[in-house]
Chains A and B, each alone.
Chain A
Amino acid sequence: MDLHLDPQQRAFRAEVRQFFKDNLPDRVRQKVIKGGYPEYQDMVDWTRVMHAKGWATPQWPKAHGGTGWSPVELAIFDDESQAAGAPQMLPFGVNMLGPVLYTFGSPEQQQKFLPRIARLDDWWCQGFSEPGAGSDLASLKTTARREGDEFIVNGQKTWTTMAQYANWIFCLVRTDPDSLKPGGKRQEGISFILIDMKTKGITVRPIQTIDGGVEVNEVFFDDVHVPAENLVGQLNKGWDYAKFLLGNERNGIARVGATKEKLRRIRALAQTSQIGAAPMSENHRFMERLTEAEIDLKALEITQWRVLARSAARHGKPDPASSILKIKGSQLQQTATDLAVALAGPYAAVGKSDQSGDNLGPIGPEWAATSAPVYFNYRKVSIYGGSNEIQRNIIAKAILGF
């Protein structure tokens, strides 16, 4: 046993770290570490940089443009890129759809879409959830009816992240209406389909989240004609592909690197931030909370390595232990955002100013202004990607055997 990275892994980490240091524009880095979503163009530009380096789709098979890195190397890479404040590759294409396509898609689909995902030529969004189908995804109602060599899609998706930027959406649709009838097997009437967002009959409505931003949308489908060749894999087998996809979604969900960056920044800011009679670094209660989070994160990092170390033996089968990473990882992300609010104290309340301009500085410390919105926004991390309750259900069933 050895809890350290071996020399090769350390060298790999140093290489990755140096690359981010040399290539990530500070402007973009600042935006990411303040917790905002990078803008469209920033995402595209950064993806192109990563693509040129061959790192845009590291987890894909080499034949499709991946790196051939081991799971441990992939995790090192994720942690380093998060800790550097780099925008993460758009997950909908790279982590979700890509693996589905190279595993279940037709050769034509693979050729057409995979290179465009890798360069962010196409911005994909994920059309799974519906108003009535959240945790219970298999109850989804959006229909796709076969007519000649087309599917006609009707229904509604919701919570669709960044659909406003997307030119493509991958959807789960009901292709066997009988599967929803009593006694029907709901999971067996679902298909996985690719839809061009510019098709007639699609309407996107933004939903403002409690941090004031717009990152999710409703997407409405009204008699949308989709070429039959856009069906992925077999008809009515979409649930299997979705399960495969959700298993991949949970990879990297611990976000150890991102939380590390947040906690480091908080510790540094605590030295100078003063809201009471002394700097926050002299408030032992605050420092104990920060230290507790650091302890938890240290443990999570090793837990993540332990889960990864056995993943090779599972031959790509999703590991229910990744639900442990999701639960703890999301809680720690939330704790970090909460600590930032505590650090900002009353200045966390500052919102949009009536007058702004170059001569007027920020109200309170500049970093404080985003602390509350980020805290609000991060409530999402225990809701999406399978809520923490659903993760507990998975663990209870798959690990504990209840």
Chain B
Amino acid sequence: MDFDLNEDQRLLKDTLVRFFKDHYSFEQRKQAMAMSGGWSADIWRQLAELGFTGLLAPEAAGGFNGGHVEAMVAMEAVGEALLVEPLFASALMCGFLLRQCPASAKISDLESAMVSGTARLALAHMEGEAPLNGAHVTTSARHEGGRVLLNGDKTLVLHGDSATHIIVSARHAGTPGAHHGIGLYLVEGDAAGLRRRGFATQDGQRAAELNFNQTPAHVLDAEGYATLAKTIDFGIACICVEAVGAMSALHAMTVDYLKIRKQFGLPIGAFQVLQHRAVDMLVALEQARSLALVAMFAMDDKDAARRHRTVAAAKVQIARSGKFVGEEAIQLHGGIGMTMEYAAGHYFKRLKMIDVQWGDGDHHLVALAEGPSLLEDEAMG
């Protein structure tokens, strides 16, 4: 076993952490969110210049060709910085998905544009009736006169409001719920018949409701369910790591606050009961860190069911730790933790929204309880 980053990975981490430290303070982030569209094009450009928009893209496209360790390094920093720019939605989620699709000139071009930062991708998969039922795809893909046309609605599309390209899951065969017959399609942002309704999420990210009406699309992968499932597992592993970054920043600021806030003539951290609460937060954080790590490494697992179990287990742990660390952090800050002017509340909100993304802790726990024991699975896949 080796828990250390190699030289390149350490450099990657240092670069991103330093970038956020210099350019993404709480105030700068607030300014970014106040911009039209809800994030900063300038920050985005700089992330592209540093190569992060191409984190997972192949070298041929000018990318970093990163794997799960690189994704992990980036997502932890994203969590600490509470990044609102579409790095995860585009470079990580869609970057990962593209690498699972059959190679094509279309994909190579798209990857190059993604690396340069000019293309921003979003994955449109969930549908309104049963957003967490992964195979519940009713959006249709039909071949008509040599073109593929999409019809249907997608919900809660992360950064779908501003993406230049949208990857859409749509059904060309089979009934809703069937794995077979779900394809992955590429829709240009300015395609005919694409309507978007953008909104801010509760934690200051961006998303959109999308409607496709005879919208022309390009096939990326005709049978894409397995890729989709793997990409969503990867997405869950990523936000688990992001949650670890957010928790660790939140925990650190809570411990600092306990040391400086004085009441009754003492720093409140002098009250042992509060020390113990901070200790329990650390325990929760470390448990979360361990399983987030395991989830990321599960991306190597050839057994899809086992991979999913591992990721789901991490999501359960993150839900618990995130709730505990988040709620305790607000409580231990008192009134100041309740305000938008202070960072703690923003971490707390992000942690809660990570919990409800792609199934909350209970959702995954129920499914896991019906499956085989996790202890029979090799820890590292």
Task: Give the interface of A toward B (CB within 8 A).
Answer: 129, 132-136, 139, 158-159, 207-210, 212, 216, 274-277, 283-286, 289, 334, 338, 341-342, 344-355, 360, 363-364, 372-373, 375-376, 379-380, 382-384, 387-389, 392
Contact = CB atoms under 8 A, between A and B. Distances in A.
Contacts of A388: 331
A353 B339 contact: no
Contacts of A354: 161, 197-199
Contacts of A348: 202, 352-353, 356
B14 interface: no
Given A353-B197, A379-B327, A276 B363 contact: yes
Contacts of B129: 274
B357 interface: yes
A210 B345 contact: yes
A342 B197 contact: no
B148 interface: no
Interface stretch (B49-57, B130-138, B218-226, B231-239): B130-138
A216 B335 CA distance: 10
Contacts of B358: 346
B340 A212 contact: yes
B264 interface: yes
A274 B131 CA distance: 8
A129 B331 contact: no
A285 B339 contact: no
B77 interface: no
Nearest to A136: B263
B202 A373 contact: yes
Nearest to B207: A349
A345 B199 contact: no
A330 to B, nearest CB: 10
A83 B255 CA distance: 39
Nearest to B274: A389
Given A210-B345, A212-B340, A354-B197, 13 more contacts: A208-B339, A209-B340, A209-B345, A274-B130, A276-B133, A289-B362, A342-B362, A344-B356, A345-B356, A346-B156, A346-B357, A349-B356, A382-B331
A350 B263 CA distance: 38
A139 B261 CA distance: 13
Contact of B132 (A207, A275, A384): A275
A346 B132 contact: yes
Contacts of A136: 263-265
B353 A363 contact: no
A351 B203 CA distance: 8
A351 B202 contact: yes
Nearest to A388: B331
A40 to B, nearest CB: 22
Contacts of A210: 338-340, 345-346, 348-349
B130 A351 contact: no
Nearest to A352: B200
A351 B200 CA distance: 5
Contact of A372 (B133, B156, B345, B352): B352
A274 B264 CA distance: 50
B128 interface: yes
Nearest to A350: B199
Q: Which of B330, B335, B352 has the most CB of A within 10 A?
A: B335
Contact of B362 (A285, A349, A372, A375): A285
Interface in B122-151: 126, 128-133, 136
Given A285-B365, A363-B155, A383 B357 contact: no
A19 B332 CA distance: 42
A201 B334 CA distance: 28
B366 A285 contact: yes
B197 A360 contact: yes
A235 B360 CA distance: 56
Contacts of B337: 379, 383
B209 interface: yes
Interface string B337-378: 111110001101100110011111011011000000000000
A358 B338 CA distance: 33
B340 A208 contact: yes
A129 B356 contact: no
A376 B348 contact: yes
